[in-house]
Structure 1
Amino acid sequence: MQIAITFRHMETSEPVKAYVEEKVSRIKKYIDEPIDAQVVVSVEKKIRHRAEVTIVAKGITIKASEETNDMYAAIDNVVDKIERQLKRYKEKIKEHKPLSGRERQVKKTVFAAESIDEGAGGEPTIIQERNFSVKPMAVEEAVMQMDLMHKEFLVFTDAASEEVNVVYRRKDGNYGLIVPQAR
């Protein structure tokens, strides 16, 4: 676990740094992937002590901040917030177990842009080809998975209809859903 600590408007303090490292390292038990933690501790007007934590792990980013009149209390409170968020995240993942046995295989092919331009002629040049499973899930779970993976779209099998669908992020921040229609 990588922990980066930044002190703003205050002197660097080894006891505070050690306390932050001890408290933030508690979240390892909730997530077993490589974790980067960025912690910013600051003092404003000599009475407002603020702690901000950003946790980045594979497919998930969690942020929290807390402000009190005591730096150690602010650190405790923000780590508690992060732990609650991670617990909720783990519960969501447990609730959304994919239905086994109904996965579909999809092939992804990437073509070279020059090979499909008008003047190129001939067959397109394949740069990359990959097969992957499309798991059955509800639309809400597909949106959650897409957000956790920081992707612009996700191909999935709708658990109810067993059709291949695509959920995507629109430019206005909302989500779109593409559902194929049988002819």
Structure 2
Amino acid sequence: MNINVRGKQMKITDALKDYVEKRVRKLEKYSDDFLDIQVMLSVEKERQKVEVTAPLNGFLLRGEEETDDMYSSIDLVVDKLERQMEKYRKRIGKKRIKSAKEEPSYILDDDEEIFDNNSIVKTKKFSAKLMSIDEAVMQMDLIGHNFFVFANADTEQINIVYRRKHGGYGLLEPEY
């Protein structure tokens, strides 16, 4: 497992890097082979933020936590990723996950632009992987979002699955 720890507006001490690596390595019990795991530590005012992205078997696990203490943020984000792995494992079976070294279903870039009020304040680019609707729902649940954009394997068109307010899921299919 290759863990890349970076700091944004802060210096990463050896002790902090060692702690991150020790905690993130707990994910190894769920899979034989994670791809490169990216950890971004940042400080904004008095908030300590940790973002982790971990590609696995064509899916992208992602966690983000923010507290007043960096070590607490690290603990919380690893706990969140472990819950995601448990959910993923329940969906595909109780076996230990062996990942294929392939591209994640989508890749988030840190392309961010600031605009005037009442405008788009953040832009993210991604590449959509062909997958079934069930796979898209599982990926959406794993990353903890309320929607997920993907290339539908049946139609080979871009679709969006989303979580409905009163339970269940919805699917948006564009008409051309």
In the superposition, the TM-score normalised over structure 1's length comes to 0.57
CA separation of 1:153 and 1:33: change in aligned 2, threshold 3 A = farther
Residues 126-165 of structure 1 mapped to structure 2, 5 A cutoff? 142-145=132-135, 152-154=151-153
Is residue 159–residue 172 contact of structure 2 (8 Å, CA) maintained in 1?
A: no
- Which amino acid in structure 2 is aligned with residue 58 of structure 1? N
- Matched-pair contact (CA < 8 Å) for 1:168–1:176: no
Higher relative contact order (CA 8 A, sep 6+): 2
After superposition, residues 86-101 of structure 1 pair within 5 angstroms as 86-94=85-93
Displacement, 1:168? 3.8
Larger Rg: 1
Task: Choose between structure 1 and 2: higher strand proportion.
Answer: 1
On the 8 A contact 2:152/2:158 being kept in 1, the answer is no
Whether the aligned pair in 1 keeps the contact of 2:40 and 2:50 (CA below 8 Å) is yes
The number of residue pairs the alignment matches comes to 119
Query: What's the CA shift for 1:143?
Result: 2.1
Match of 1:39 in 2: 39
Deviations 1:81-134 (A, max 9, x none): 000001000001128xxxxxxxxxxxxxxxxxxxxxxxxxxxxxxxxxxxxxxx
* Unpaired runs of at least 5, structure 1: 96-140, 155-166, 178-183
Q: Secondary structure at the match of 2:4?
A: strand
Identical counterparts, % of pairs: 34
Q: CA deviation at 1:41?
A: 0.5
Q: Give a deviation string over 1:134-174, Cα, whole Å, max 9, x none.
A: xxxxxxx94233677997343xxxxxxxxxxxx34643535
TM-score by length of 2: 0.59
Q: Distance in 2 between matches of 1:2 and 1:31?
A: 13
Between the aligned partners of 1:11 and 1:146, the Cα distance in structure 2 is: 37
- CA distance in 2 between counterparts of 1:169 and 1:147 reads 17
**Structure 2 unpaired stretches of 5+:** 95-130, 140-148, 162-170
Q: How is 1:1-183 mapped onto 2 (pairs within 5 angstroms)?
A: 1-45=1-45, 47-94=46-93, 142-145=132-135, 152-154=151-153, 167-168=154-155, 170-173=157-160
Q: CA deviation at 1:2?
A: 1.1
- The CA distance in 2 between the partners of 1:19 and 1:85, in whole Å, is 21
Q: Would you say the 8 A contact 1:59–1:148 is kept in 2?
A: no
Q: Please give the alpha-carbon distance, in whole angstroms, between the structure 2 residues aligned to 1:151 and 1:67.
A: 28
- Give 1:26's aligned amino acid: K
